[in-house]
Amino acid sequence: MVAVLATVLAACGGSSPEGQGADGGGYTVEHALGETRIDARPERVVVIDSPHLDALVALGVTPVGATESGAGEGLPGYLGDAVADTEVVGLTAEPDIDAIANLAPDLIIGSKVRHEAIYDELSAIAPTVFSENSGTDWQEQARTTAAALDRSPDMEHLLDDLARRAAAVGTTLGAQGKTASVVRFRPDNFRLYGPDSFSGSILAQVGFELGDHDWNEYSMVELSPERYDEIDGDVIFFANPGGDPKATTMATVTGLWADLPAVAEGRAHAVEDETWMVGIGVVGATTMLDQLEKLLG
């Protein structure tokens, strides 16, 4: 993990600030819920969604507060010591307004799709900037985070470097023309992820195709276990949140799917749920690419 962060930060030129607010003159950010004026470069940032947390870390910024995806889960382990001093301020689905206020932030970053109802409350605490989405079209969240910090050029540099790395990995692995299925097991069903999901978009950059499915607005489809044969990629990547196969449909589906070509030929790979499904951003994507090279190289 230290090596991943070092690589990302090096790509960002040591995370040196760039932009119109660097001289302390302030700047205005256009975002999903309007415009927000920020008078000086923020030093106490709170984020209430995981894509923005990853983006901050990629830019070399440690937030004073962040939400956790599930109760008691803590902040993503793949971010390591970069968030060791970050205080948990409730759940992403239910941020703790009082805890956020107690941190006296000078910037709050969230997403319209999750947090529109509390935007006014947050804006009363500190300047607040919202992305449109969360997870789907993850680069929009990365760019919104960077804009909120007046660091857009740095983020563009990171995204360009990531695209080049993904293409190089794809060439090495011979991914072009192959299909991939990204599976996440859940208590009552399983999900297949499409090209606009986080993990799907990274695989698409590598060169994989995600197949033809009736993707919903979040670029996924939820299926019952008996529809396991729709996991039809040349390569399968599957994640099981929590790790217990019996707590999800993993035990059932993997008990049925032996006849799938990818399974029969040893091309079904377990991957980290935290990185592939929760680790939405440049740091998570870099970790994904490292794992891809180890799994398929």
User: For the domain that residue 234 is a member of, what is the CATH number?
Assistant: 3.40.50.1980
DSSP strand E in the chain: where?
27-31, 34-38, 45-47, 65-68, 87-91, 94-95, 107-111, 128-131, 180-185, 190-193, 220-223, 235-239, 268-270
75 & 184 share domain: no
Residue that is last in its domain, among 131, 150, 169: 150
pLDDT at 114: 94
- The Cβ of residue 283 has, within 10 Å, a number of other Cβ atoms equal to 29
* Intervals of the chain under pLDDT 50: 13-19
pLDDT at 207: 98
Distance, first Cα to last Cα, the chain:
20
Q: Residue 103 falls within a domain, yes or no?
A: yes
Q: Residue 12 falls within a domain, yes or no?
A: no
Residue that is last in its domain, among 128, 150, 172: 150
- The Cβ of residue 141 has, within 10 Å, a number of other Cβ atoms equal to 30
280 & 179 share domain: yes
Q: Is 238 helix (H, G, I), strand (E, B) or coil?
A: strand
pLDDT at 1: 52
Residue ranges making up the domain that contains 81: 19-150
pLDDT at 239: 97
Residue that is last in its domain, among 120, 150, 180: 150
178 & 285 share domain: yes
pTM of the model: 0.89
163 & 288 share domain: yes
pLDDT at 9: 54
Q: How many structural domains comprise the chain?
A: 2
Strands 268-270 and 190-193 come out as unpaired
